[in-house]
Every structure is written in C-alpha cells, then in structure tokens.
Amino acid sequence: MLDSPKLTARQQQILDLIQTAIARTGAPPTRAEIAAELGFKSANAAEEHLQALARK
C-alpha cells in the first residue's frame, strides 16, 4: 500500500475550514470565502491551493 502524501500546513488549514463549514452549514465554503478567511488577495489563490489539495 502506498503512503498518503502529507498535507502542508496550509492545505490542512484549508481542509479543516472546508470540514468545519460543511459541518456547520451543510455546504463547503466558496473559493472567495476561503480566500477571505485565510487572507488571500484573490479567490484564484484559494483555487490553486484547492487544486494542490485535490491532487493529494
């Protein structure tokens, strides 16, 4: 069995944010909400992190 890739601290932060939002509201946060919560300047930055997370 292959080892799962380790998440970076930022990826873990985003995953935690998504899980919390789903538990609270039943829906994941938007890219804009992720960007605002984590202090990114644009939703595109959140998208890049989400794509990296999805690859893992």
Mean pLDDT, 10 residues at a time, the chain of 56 residues: 73 96 98 97 95 92
Is 50 part of a structural domain of the chain? yes
Q: Are 31 and 46 in contact (CB under 8 A)?
A: yes
pLDDT at 12: 94
47 in a domain, yes or no? yes
Please report whether residue 27 resides in a domain.
yes
The pLDDT assigned to 5 comes to: 76
Number of domains in the chain: 1
Nearest 5°: the CA angle 53, 41, 22 is 45
Q: Which domain holds residue 28?
A: 9-55
In a domain, 43, yes or no: yes
Burial class (CB in 10 A: 0-12, 13-18, 19+), 49: buried
Identify the sign of the CA torsion 33, 39, 6, 24. negative
For residue 2, is it within any domain? no
Residue 8: count of CB within 10 angstroms of its CB: 13
